[in-house]
């Protein structure tokens, strides 16, 4: 009977997967199913595991690692929770986040973030449990697989988001960590229950979390999530990847940039694409019997972002989409990213056509206007030179200057060449400069090279009003140059709903471009486009813009 069940499950899977993805995959059993991972059991069924949350709106109790089952990766049924209790070393107020489940030997092993460890307030750790099958019964180990880790400057590093890997030589590794402390890897004992040896950092802090590593064609691919996981309708969570010949790294992206430096690289795998799904991140990977890889992750419906509206837990259902590997680099749905048959289709990859307009900043300016003019901004020598202001646009302060002009109609690409010598020798939070699509002080999309603690990143952020409050979030669009970065905003009007779509482009040399995520502004808004330079006046730094050009898209 067990063999017959497995055969039937395999047949159903082969038939159903030909129909493509249907998102959200978790709709039949959960409104939210965050940080998902999927495994295929010995019985032929697929099993999904999610972070501890209420499953449905109105529930008041969190499920401790909920489990769902499917025959085809599309139709899922809730089958129970992995745990009724916490591990023996957990504090009473601990939560269980971000599970990872693997078959090691003849038993299943589950790793999970334990947010609070008894006796060490504020310290997280990685718990580990074993079971004879994916549905359990799961038994906690007495000690954590990764104990709390003291941060050198005080407090405790975030010991989150475990991901197990068995390397080509049979050695077992565990990846873990988050924004505070970075991502690390340690070798595991043969039974997979405890780390051993000296850990190795593989991705920088203040940019990456949610590691997931797979081995393919002689490379180890490190998937990692960036930006904010949980900002409701402006959540910019996205996934990028680097690869290495060794499970210990160094991991580099398609352009050869390390994931473990201040100007960290990362080849985009998925980001918000302009349809209803934002916050597309924290992934796993499952391969079906045909050898097709599927990307499992969570996202947020920007029209329904909270579990209990208007605010509350971010509602992050599970999505499943095809993962493709063009040129040896993974991307979801061949670069179209999150699928949603009911909603707007994602924009194609932008390419500039003829020049519509260009201001090279060589003469007196016409056609421009200011919001809060900054007299320190001057034009000379073919540049707009603008000392970065001690001001901002996010929140209710709104004291930063904005230099704007009316863009062309239709589809176009705006481009600027920005020199901003932020250096790396000092913290400059959050000095930045770049492009903006501006419909108001509380409704804009801003693409800027920015200092974030010890990192230098290119953030594409959006602010909007939501439920009588303001929501701001960003997605990481790419890697800035050492001093000079080229930025693009590609605009189109979505033919289905009339929204203004803006996609972010980043280049370090003005020739090779990385295209990141998409933010939208409402159909009834009339955004202008321009330049910004703000975030902090000390230590002093000046942004220099060579030009602002508009190309036909």
The mean per-residue pLDDT over the stretch 511-530 comes to: 98
Task: Please say if the pLDDT value at position 66 is more than 70.
Answer: yes
User: How long a stretch of residues is the chain?
Assistant: 553
Backbone angles phi, psi at 12, to 5 degrees: -60, -40
Query: How would DSSP label each residue in 484-542?
Result: EEEEEEEEEE-TTT--EEEEEEEESSSSSEEEEEEEEE-TT---EEEEEEES--SS--E
Nearest to 37 by CA among 132, 117, 109, 127: 109
Predicted pLDDT at 517: 98
Q: Which run of H or of E encompasses 298?
A: strand 293-301
Q: What is the pLDDT of residue 366?
A: 85
> Above 80 in pLDDT, residue 4?
no
The phi, psi pair for 17, rounded to 5°, reads -70, -20
CA dist., res. 440 & res. 136, Å (int): 53
Cβ atoms within 10 Å of 365's Cβ, excluding its own: 12
Taking the C-alpha atoms of residue 515 and residue 267, their distance in angstroms, rounded to an integer, is 10
How far apart (Å, rounded) are the C-alpha atoms in residues 387 and 537? 8
Q: Does residue 155 surpass a pLDDT of 50?
A: yes
Distances in Å between the Cα of 142 and the Cα atoms of 87, 130, 131, 154, 374 are 7, 11, 15, 27, 61
* Token pair for 167: 């390397």
Q: Which CATH class is domain 355-552?
A: mainly beta
Cβ neighbours of residue 437 under 8 Å, at least 6 residues apart? 444, 445, 446, 489, 491, 500, 502, 521, 527, 528, 529
Q: What pLDDT does residue 364 have?
A: 72
**Cα 530 off chain centre by:** 26
Residue 168 has pLDDT above 60, yes or no: yes
pLDDT at 165 over 60: yes
344 pLDDT band, cuts 50/70/90, is low
First to last CA, the chain: 59
pLDDT score at 346: 64
Task: Tell whether the model's pLDDT for residue 254 goes beyond 70.
Answer: yes
Tell me the average pLDDT across 403-424. 97
**What's the pLDDT score for residue 283?**
98
- Asked if residue 117 lies in contact with residue 123, where contact means CB atoms within 8 angstroms, the answer is yes
pLDDT number for residue 19: 42
pLDDT digits (tens, 9 = 90+) for 289-299: 999 999 999 99
Give strand pairing partners of 446.
Answer: 436, 461
Q: How far is CA 358 from CA 190, 414, 416, 547, 549, in A?
A: 62, 9, 10, 7, 4
Contact 307, 232 (CB under 8 A): no
* 532 — pLDDT class (breaks 50, 70, 90): very high
* C-alpha dist (Å) from residue 458 to 39, 461, 487, 521: 35, 10, 9, 20
Residue 10 pLDDT > 50: no
Parse the chain into domains and list their residue ranges.
2-335, 355-552
pTM over 0.85? The answer is: yes
Cis peptide bond N-terminal to 160, omega within 30: no
B/e letters for 331-357, b = 16+ CB within 10 Å, e = fewer, are bbbebbbbbbeebbebbeebebeeebe
Q: Is the pLDDT of residue 11 over 80?
A: no
Is residue 224 over pLDDT 80?
A: yes
Q: In this predicted structure, what is the pLDDT of residue 363?
A: 82
Residue 369's Cβ-side half-sphere holds a number of Cα atoms within 13 Å equal to: 7
**538 pLDDT more than 70:** yes
135 φ, ψ (degrees, to nearest 5): -85, 0
> Cβ of 427: how many Cβ atoms within 10 Å?
13
pLDDT tens-digit profile of 102-122? 999 999 999 999 999 999 999
Mean pLDDT is lowest, of 16-20, 274-278, 475-479, 521-525, for: 16-20
What gap in Å lies between CA 208 and CA 381, rounded to an integer?
39
What is d(CA 227, CA 435) in angstroms, rounded to the nearest whole number?
A: 19
- Measured CA to CA, the distance from residue 150 to residue 402 in angstroms comes to 43
List of residues 6+ apart from 520 with CB closer than 8 A: 274, 494, 499, 500, 501, 502
SS3 367: coil
Place of tokens 């000079």: 484
Looking at CATH, the fold of the domain delimited by 2-335 is given as Tachylectin-2; Chain A (2.115.10)
Looking at the DSSP bridge assignments, the partners of residue 174 are 164, 186
Measured between alpha carbons, how far is 532 from 10 in angstroms, rounded to an integer? 55
**Amino acid 341: pLDDT:** 77
In the predicted model, is pLDDT for residue 306 greater than 90?
yes
pLDDT tens string 414-432: 999 999 999 999 999 999 9
DSSP 3-state of 379:
strand
* Residue indicated by tokens 């646009």: 393
């Amino acid at each position: 009977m067990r063999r017959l069940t497995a055969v039937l499950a395999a047949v159903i899977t082969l038939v159903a997967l030909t129909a493509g993805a249907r998102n959200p995959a978790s709709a039949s059993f959960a409104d939210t199913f965050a940080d998902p991972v999927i495994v295929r059991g010995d019985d032929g069924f697929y099993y999904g595991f999610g972070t501890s949350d209420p499953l449905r709106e109105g529930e008041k109790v969190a499920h401790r690692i909920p489990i769902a089952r499917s025959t085809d990766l599309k139709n899922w049924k809730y089958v129970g929770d992995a745990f009724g209790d916490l591990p023996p070393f957990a504090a009473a107020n601990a939560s269980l986040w971000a599970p990872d489940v693997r078959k090691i030997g003849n038993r299943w092993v589950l790793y999970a973030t334990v947010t609070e460890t008894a006796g060490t307030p504020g310290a997280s750790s990685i718990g580990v449990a074993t079971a004879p099958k994916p549905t359990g019964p799961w038994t906690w180990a007495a000690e954590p697989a990764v104990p709390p880790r003291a941060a050198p400057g005080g407090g405790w590093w975030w010991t989150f988001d475990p991901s197990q890997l068995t390397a080509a030589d049979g050695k077992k590794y565990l990846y873990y960590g988050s924004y505070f402390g970075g991502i690390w890897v340690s070798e595991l004992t043969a039974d997979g229950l405890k780390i051993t040896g000296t850990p190795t950092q593989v991705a920088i802090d203040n940019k990456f979390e949610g590691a997931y590593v797979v081995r393919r064609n002689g490379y180890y691919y490190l998937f990692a999530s960036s930006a904010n996981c949980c900002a409701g309708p402006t959540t910019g969570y996205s996934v990028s990847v680097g690869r290495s010949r060794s499970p210990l790294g160094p991991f580099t992206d398609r352009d050869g940039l390390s994931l473990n430096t201040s100007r960290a690289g990362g080849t985009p795998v998925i980001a918000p694409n302009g349809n209803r799904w934002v916050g597309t991140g924290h992934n796993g990977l499952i391969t079906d019997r045909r050898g097709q890889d599927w990307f499992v992750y969570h996202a947020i419906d920007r029209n329904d972002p909270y579990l209990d509206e208007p605010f509350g837990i971010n509602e992050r259902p599970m999505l499943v989409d095809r993962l493709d590997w063009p040129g040896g680099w993974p991307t979801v749905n061949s670069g179209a990213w999150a699928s949603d048959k009911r909603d707007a289709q994602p924009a194609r990859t932008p390419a500039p056509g003829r020049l519509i307009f260009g201001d090279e900043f060589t003469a007196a300016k016409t056609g421009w206007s200011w919001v809060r003019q900054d007299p320190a901004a001057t034009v000379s020598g073919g540049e707009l030179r603008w000392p970065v202001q001690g001001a901002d646009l996010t929140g209710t302060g709104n004291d930063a200057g904005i230099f704007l002009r009316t863009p062309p109609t239709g589809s176009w690409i705006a481009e600027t060449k920005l020199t901003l010598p932020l250096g790396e020798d000092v913290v400059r939070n959050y000095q930045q400069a770049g492009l903006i699509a501006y419909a108001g002080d509380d409704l804009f999309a801003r693409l800027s090279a920015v200092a974030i603690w010890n990192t230098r990143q290119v953030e594409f952020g959006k602010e909007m009003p939501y439920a009588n409050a303001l929501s701001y979030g960003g997605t990481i669009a790419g890697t800035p140059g050492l001093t000079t970065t080229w930025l693009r905003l590609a605009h189109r009007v979505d033919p289905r709903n009339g929204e203004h779509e803006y996609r972010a482009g980043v280049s370090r040399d003005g020739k090779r471009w990385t295209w990141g995520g998409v933010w939208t502004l409402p159909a009834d808004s009339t955004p202008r486009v321009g330049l910004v330079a703000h975030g902090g006046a000390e230590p002093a730094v000046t942004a220099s813009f060579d030009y602002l050009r508009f190309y036909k898209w």
